[in-house]
Chains A and B, each alone.
Chain A
């Protein structure tokens, strides 16, 4: 595939996703996975899972996973194209809504839409976790790490970097002891 074609499809994938992007970066992972891995084959599953992990290590908005995908698929032009596509359309809408904010802010419908979106975003985020786990976990060690992290982090407000660090250490130990094969 020519470079221009890659950039064009990256742009259209993330532009379209931007309009349907409810629930923020973490809820969108299944759609990114579907487009980037399943449909276009820009990355394979394990690569995608590593990108998700690297994006969790860096500080900043969860949406930056999109920038990293762009970078890994097509370098700096890829990063600029994907970031622009996912950030700019919602920003224009947010600006327009800001101008009519007084009318929106106290509207009774706002509360209803918020409580109606809650369960949908939860369903999406849970699907994100499962799809990321299927891409990341290749053996019992991987699944045990995912389940342990999910369980422990549900009941603590600890910084998520701790979980990532612990996962990395367990990964090294499991590999050295021969429990884990590298993909």
Chain B
């Protein structure tokens, strides 16, 4: 399978296929579902070619909401219309929510044990580090110049230091960043 494959539009994918496919994406998605969704959707089921996958999630990444949640809506719509969207996103969320509640209930049940509380505290500190690592990994995908540095730093200070509400970022830094990027393109 490679990107020379022109399109997957001829494929027929049933509601049951969507259900089992997205159930697996959810179940295998440790640390977010970006890896498992590529694995199931492109490599195993071949619902999208690698190129289609990149294009679809490119559009999703600028929409509000989880990128892959939006992706499941679009893939469901592509093969089975609105019902396909509902089946896809529900099956994607089903197992993760059940497992998460299971973990939360067992934690509450055993949290009287000091070792469990110590382990959870350690895990929470590590989880904070994981989120920082997500940010540093994303940094590699950006060509850094004055404008991106200012936009990233400004957003960080506004939210991380000043604890401003999220809508301020959407109102101030998103249009500013788009405007300055457009300006930069026009000059070059």
Contacts and interface: CB of A to CB of B under 8 A. Distances in A.
Contacts of A72: 104
Contacts of B67: 24
B100 A64 contact: yes
A47 to B, nearest CB: 10
B124 A136 contact: yes
Nearest to B77: A98
Interface residues of B, number: 93
Contact of B127 (A56, A110, A117, A175): A56
A71 B102 CA distance: 11
Contact of A171 (B73, B77, B121, B130): B121
Contacts of A56: 31, 123, 127, 130
Contact of A21 (B64, B142, B156): B64
A180 interface: yes
A30 B178 contact: no
Given A60-B93, A126-B132, A160 B121 contact: no
Contact of A160 (B30, B65, B66, B135): B30
Interface stretch (B11-19, B42-50, B54-62): B54-62
Interface in A136-158: 136-138, 141-143, 145-154
Interface in A47-63: 49-63
A59 B28 contact: yes
From B126, B134, B154, B182, residue with most partner A Cβ within 10 Å: B126
Interface in B120-166: 120-139, 141-142, 147-149, 151-156, 159-160, 163, 165-166
B26 interface: yes
Contact of A125 (B101, B135, B177): B135
Nearest to A99: B77
Nearest to B31: A160
Contacts, number: 384
Contacts of B155: 119-120, 122-124, 127
Nearest to A130: B160
A101 B55 CA distance: 10
A151 B132 CA distance: 9
A34 interface: yes
Interface in A23-74: 24-26, 28-31, 34, 38, 46, 49-64, 67-68, 71-72
Given A30-B163, A150-B136, A167-B123, A119 B118 contact: no
B156 to A, nearest CB: 4
A22 B64 contact: yes
A123 B139 CA distance: 10
A183 interface: yes
B169 A94 contact: no
B120 A52 contact: no
Nearest to B89: A91
Contact of B141 (A16, A118, A182): A118
A22 B29 contact: no
A183 to B, nearest CB: 7
12 contacts: A56-B31, A59-B29, A59-B33, A90-B63, A94-B60, A120-B151, A128-B135, A146-B128, A150-B136, A151-B133, A171-B123, A174-B122
